[in-house]
Amino acid sequence: MSVKHFLNTQDWSRPELDALLDQARAFKQTKLGDQLKGKAVALVFFNPSMRTRTSFELGTFQLGGHAVVLQPGKDAWPIEFDLGTVMDGDTEEHIAEVAKVLARYADILAVRAFPKFVDWQIDRQDRVLAAFAKYSPVPVINMETITHPCQELAHILALQEHFGTTDLRGKKYVLTWTYHPKPLNTAVANSALTIATRMGMDVTLLCPTPDYILDERYMGWAQDNVAESGGSLQVSHDIASAYAGADVVYAKSWGALPFFGNWGPEKPIRDQYKHFIVDEAKMALTNNGVFSHCLPLRRNVKATDGVMDSPACIAINEAENRLHVQKAIMAALANP
């Protein structure tokens, strides 16, 4: 029997996702449980984190388990992922051994591995996560690679709480690109598009130019999702019409895919669109809309102080919900 991982929400059925959200609501009411009693979780971080690391470690503890954090290349040996390599470079051990050994100690492995931002055709293979899933005989959780499925569930839970219903169909949802001085990962944008369409919302992807449209895999998932859920999907480069009447504004910055590996020419293009910042004037165009962001967020670059400090901002609720949804995911995977 193949092991069930949590790599992308798209791999999970809608009833399974709804059950995770219901369990997360229950964990929010009752903090402690024994679903991970006597169990261990290995958290493997190739990139920095504040929310993800803290919420996974504390969530494991609150369910009676123990979490171990490893940072390959820092406090653990650097790992080789290519097959057939003569390992005479910097890597000290192969993922084939790492995943199997960790699985002898831990009941769940979780992985954060951002793209390298050099060649999108390689990055889009999600090779680190795929290799852990291939070699691990225990469940693997995606803690953000080229998607961020834990963030997706936390985001949806926060929206369901805000609107007082689990049925988000028909809500006008704007995923807006925002400026950032560096080209960032597309993971949260891919994920927002995926889950918002899955929930049947009417989704607008607002970005400066066609170069900022997301990878065809995630645009395709979104198209599949709207066909199933009855939502809709459109791309816009016009700020005013995209914000008009919106119920939800979700902001994220990301680098333009055609410039992966050659970011020099992208910077002056990106610098022309600092006005995509989420501000009070744009939010005033919405239907008393709610604002959120995955965090971390650079204030007065991605969103203004006024928006972040307004009652419309539910980013802190979303961050809190990371704890609850991840406990639900771990409890489900550890007790199939």
Binding residues for N(2)-acetyl-L-ornithine: 144, 252, 295
Residue closer to ligand CP (CB basis): 9 or 151: 151
What is the token pair recorded at 301? 């670059």
* Torsion from C-alpha of 4, 153, 130, 107, nearest 10 degrees: -50
Of 50 and 281, which CB lies nearer to ligand CP in the complex structure? 50
Residues 23, 52, 186, 225: which binds ligand CP (CB under 6 A)?
Answer: 52
**63 neighbors 331 (Cβ within 8 angstroms):** yes
Residues 122 and 261: their CA atoms lie apart, in Å, by 11
Q: Among the candidate windows 1-9, 48-56, 215-223, 227-235, which touches ligand CP by CB under 6 A? A: 48-56
- Closer to ligand CP by CB, 239 or 319: give it: 319
- 51 belongs to the binding site for ligand CP (CB under 6 A): yes
Nearer to ligand CP, 73 or 137 (CB): 73
CB of 245 to ligand CP, least distance (A): 28
Applying CB under 6 A, among 26, 68, 213, 295 the residue interacting with ligand CP is: 295
Whether the CB-CB separation of 3 and 137 falls below 8 Å is answered with yes
3-state class of 281 per DSSP?
A: helix
Cα distance between residue 211 and residue 183, in whole Å: 13
**Segments in the chain forming alpha helices (H):** 14-29, 51-62, 95-105, 120-123, 127-135, 149-163, 187-198, 216-229, 239-243, 266-270, 280-283, 305-308, 315-334
**What DSSP designation does 154 have?**
H
Compute the least distance from the CB of residue 188 to ligand CP, in Å.
7
Other CB atoms within 10 Å distance of the CB of residue 78: 14
Shortest CB 145 distance to ligand CP, Å: 11
Which residue number is nearest to ligand CP in terms of Cβ? 52
**Exposure of 219 in the CB half-sphere (CA atoms within 13 A):** 10
Q: 7-35 in b/e burial notation, b at 16+ Cβ within 10 A?
A: bbbbebeeeebeebbebbbebbeeeebeb
Stretch near ligand CP under the rule CB under 6 A, chosen from 7-15, 175-183, 228-236, 290-298: 290-298
- Smallest distance, Å, CB 155 to ligand CP? 10
8 binds ligand CP (CB under 6 A): no
Binding-site member from 18, 34, 37, 50 for ligand CP (CB under 6 A): 50
CB of 294 to ligand CP, least distance (A): 4
Tokens of 276: 């995509």
Residue of the chain from 294, 297, 332, 334 that contacts ligand CP (CB under 6 A):
294
Residues pairing with 204 in the sheet: 174, 234
253 is a contact residue toward ligand CP (CB under 6 A):
no
- Identity of the amino acid at 256: A
Which positions from 147 through 206 interact with ligand CP, judged by CB under 6 A?
151
Q: How far is the CB of 38 from ligand CP (least distance, A)?
A: 27
Do residues 252 and 189 touch, judged by C-beta distance below 8 A?
yes
* Binding site listing: 49-52, 77, 112, 144, 148-151, 252, 294-295, 322
In the complex with ligand CP, the residue whose CB is nearer, 151 or 160, is 151
- In whole angstroms, the minimum distance from the beta carbon of 234 to ligand CP comes to 26
If one asks whether residue 49 binds ligand CP (CB under 6 A), the answer comes out as yes
Cross-strand bridge partners of residue 226: none
CA distance 21 to 19: 5
Residue 317, interface with ligand CP (CB under 6 A)?
no
